[in-house]
Amino acid sequence: MFGKFQQTQLRIELDATATAIHDSLLLPMQLEKWLLPGNFTAKMPTELHSGLQFTRQVGLIPIHHQVDVVNTNSLRLLLSQGIDGFHEWYWGEGWVQSRIEGVSILPLSLAHTASLLSLRQYLQRK
């Protein structure tokens, strides 16, 4: 894999319930409404579940995701291709925390911040 090792961790407060955050992260119909530009390369199920594999195309760069862990208040994705690493999510009433670690040529910190701000804006509109 080309690129450099990067890690970024952010926690933000949101005016949203844990259930609303859960649905925004685990229901692909909602996920694609706030996730930064890119698209799923295949039809997605109604809800993310352990073992599910999918690819998102971000510009010319594919990012393969494998859902490793899904719980009531957490999600862990193993990443490959455009990012070799993982993305973890934790949430509760009024907050969400996210961590990405991996090797990539993409600017992970910038994309990570933009994604969380997009999630906040999406939840405020709901």
**Residue 90: C-alpha distances to residues 55, 58, 101, 106 (Å):** 22, 24, 15, 23
Please report, for the chain, the start and end positions of each structural domain, with discontinuous segments joined by +: 4-125
Q: Encode the chain (126 residues) as per-residue pLDDT tens digits.
A: 689 999 999 999 999 999 999 999 999 999 989 987 777 878 899 999 999 999 998 888 899 999 999 999 999 999 999 999 999 999 999 999 999 999 999 899 999 999 999 999 999 998
* pLDDT score, position 31: 92
**Residue 87: C-alpha distances to residues 15, 50, 94 (Å):** 23, 14, 20
* pLDDT score, position 88: 98
Per CATH, is 4-125 categorized as 3.30.530.20? yes
* pLDDT score, position 43: 87
